[in-house]
Amino acid sequence: MMGAGKTAVGTALARMLGVPFRDSDEEIVKAASRSIAEIFERDGEPFFRARETEVLSRLVKGQPCILSTGGGAFLSDLNRNIIGATGVSVWLRADLDLLWHRVRHKATRPLLRTANPRETLRQLHEARVPYYALADVTVDAEPDLSIELMAQRVIEALKTRNDVLERV
């Protein structure tokens, strides 16, 4: 979900684990030479989602990494299967108030360009939570935790799985 901390926590996690950090949204922006907001405006959300799936398919075939996806990527059965076939999905679960606090002043969120962005965020959150709950691992985001502590929480959660983290 936008504002959960995927990029910030993912970057810290990658650094701690000594693996590259990849962001599917950044890869889409590079390939299109346009911002996500511009892609949404010019080509629409379905076009963006198709590019997102293409990028995810390519990135999971590369070297092991921490991969941050856009907030809508995990809604797709196909994307969840692509991620699940080669990796472990992690949901950074954050409540609506925390998400709103983090995104309310950002003009880079095309889905929140509405008359009532907080209500739009609430609706998105409500619709997406059932999909996010399908993630392999859930780590609760809290407003008073630093990025490093959140990344450490993710590591601790991953340590509970026998198929992840050969060494930490």
> Which pair of tokens denotes residue 12?
């810290």
pLDDT at 110: 62
Q: Cα angle at 109 between 87 and 155, to 5 degrees?
A: 30
pLDDT at 108: 62
pLDDT at 43: 93
pLDDT at 57: 96
Say if residues 61 and 133 touch (Cβ distance below 8 Å): no
Q: Which of 107, 74, 108, 100 is nearest to 4 (CA)?
A: 100
In this prediction the pTM is 0.87
Q: Show the domains of the chain with their CATH numbers.
A: 6-158 (3.40.50.300)
pLDDT at 40: 87
3-state secondary structure 127-138: HHHHHHCCCCEE
- DSSP state, residue 146: -
pLDDT at 71: 84
- Sequential pLDDT tens for the chain (168 residues): 888 999 999 999 999 999 999 999 999 999 999 998 899 889 998 999 999 999 999 999 999 999 999 888 999 999 999 999 999 999 999 999 999 888 887 666 666 677 788 898 899 999 999 999 999 999 999 889 999 999 999 999 999 988 775 544
> For 148-152, which contacts have Cβ atoms below 8 Å and span 24 or more sequence positions?
148/12, 148/16, 150/5, 150/8, 150/9, 150/12, 150/92, 151/9, 151/12, 151/13, 151/16, 152/16
10 Å CB burial of residue 66 (0-12, 13-18, 19+) is: buried
